[in-house]
Amino acid sequence: MTEVTQDVERCSICTLPAVHPLAELDDQKVCKSCREKIVQEKKQNVFKNEEELIAALAPFKGSGRKYDVVVPLSGGVDSSFALIRIVEKFGLKPLVFHNDHGFEDSVATDNVRKLCASLDVDLLLWQHDFNFMKTLWRHLNTSNIPGASACYLCANVIYMNALELANAFDVPLLINGYSKGQAEIIEQKKRGTDILAQYLQYISKNDPEFTEEFMRRYKILGKQRIFAGVEDLEGGPTEQVLTIPFFLFSFYKTDKATLQEECRKRFDWQPMKTSYPARTTNCEMIWLNTYVDNKKFGYSVYDEEYAGMVRSGDMTADQALKDLEHTPPEGLLERLADEIGYDLNQKHSQKAG
C-alpha cells in the first residue's frame, strides 16, 4: 500500500513531480520553474545580511512589554535554530509556544523543554482538544479538493494558535521557524484562499457544527500583519501582530545537517524516532496525510517544498529524493487512519467535491 514516490516522473533538475499542475515538463524533462529560473527570491533579499535584519528589529526590542516576540517551537532543527538565533543574536525576549495536537513525537517535546531550559526562556505548552484536529484531518483527507493537503490546514491552525497567544499576551511580533519551502507555500495567498474556500464548502455541507468552530478560530487572522518589507519594522509595534517567517531571508540556509550541527552545539538535540520527510518533522500524522495526497494527486506538498529548496540551492536533488522516500513504519497508516476515521481504501476521483 506504500506509495513509492521515487517511481514518479520528475523534473530532472529540481525533482518536482510531472503531475504537479505547475510542472509542465518539456522534452528535456525540465519544469517551468527551472526553465524560467524562478528561484523565488522576492523578499528574501530585503536585507543583505543578518546584521541588517537585527538593526531593523530594534524598534521591537525592549518594548516595555513582558515579551518582545512569540516563537513557535516544534523541536525540529529549523525552529530550534531560529529560536537560538532570536535569543542569542537578536537579543529579543521570547514567549516560546509548543503545540501538541496529539500526534507529536515525545522526543520533539523533550527537545523543546531542553532548549528552553538552556536558553532560560518562558515556554507555553498548548495541548489541543484532539477531536478538533482529528476532525480537521478527516474532512480534508476524505474530500477531493485539488492540491489541498491536511498538513497545510494543520499548519494554519498552529499558526492561528500562535497569533492568539501573541494577542492574549500583548506581544507585537511573531517569528516562526517554518522551513523556507513551507513559508513560500503559505505565502501563496490566492492558492491558500482557494483551498480554504473549497474546504469550507465541503465541511459546511457535511459537518455544520465543526464548521462553526472552524470559523470561530479563523477570526484571529484579522489580528495579523504579514511582513512585506523594511517599512513594516520601521514604525515599531502596532495593535496588530507582525509575522515574520524566519527562513524567508536568503542568508539563512535550511540545510538540515548544518542546522542539526548548530543545534547540537547549543543543547542535547535528539532526532525524532520516525520522520517524514526524513530528518525534519515532529508529527506522526504527516505519514498518513502524505499517503493520502500521493493517492489523490500523485504528489504531496513536500514534493513541492523540496523542489523549491533544490532550485534555491538549499539542497541537492539526490538528497531531496532520499528525504522524500515515503516508507511509513509497519502498521502506522492503519493506526492513524483508524484514529481519525479515514477509510484507507477510499477511492479518490481527481474531480473536486
**Residues lying near Zn ion in the complex (CB under 5 A):** 11, 13-14, 16, 31, 34
Cβ proximity to Zn ion: between 60 and 306 the closer is 306
CA distances from 326 to 227, 321, 323 (A): 34, 10, 8
Least distance (Å) between residue 86 CB and Zn ion: 33
Dist CA 314 CA 227 (whole Å): 22
Dist CA 308 CA 178 (whole Å): 14
Contacts of 309 (CB under 8 A, 6+ apart): 179, 180, 181, 254, 315, 320
Least distance (Å) between residue 311 CB and Zn ion: 6
Cβ proximity to Zn ion: between 143 and 312 the closer is 312
Least distance (Å) between residue 23 CB and Zn ion: 7
Least distance (Å) between residue 324 CB and Zn ion: 14
CA distances from 64 to 23, 105, 116, 202, 210 (A): 49, 36, 22, 45, 40
Least distance (Å) between residue 17 CB and Zn ion: 10
Percentages of the chain per state (helix, strand, coil), in multiples of 5: 50, 10, 40
Cβ proximity to Zn ion: between 281 and 300 the closer is 300
Cβ proximity to Zn ion: between 31 and 233 the closer is 31
SS3 of residue 23 by DSSP? coil
Contacts of 69 (CB under 8 A, 6+ apart): 60, 86, 92, 93, 94, 95, 171, 173, 174, 175
Cβ proximity to Zn ion: between 20 and 326 the closer is 20
Cβ proximity to Zn ion: between 34 and 336 the closer is 34
- Beta carbons within 10 angstroms of residue 155's beta carbon: 18
Least distance (Å) between residue 110 CB and Zn ion: 38
Residue recorded with cell 507555500: 185
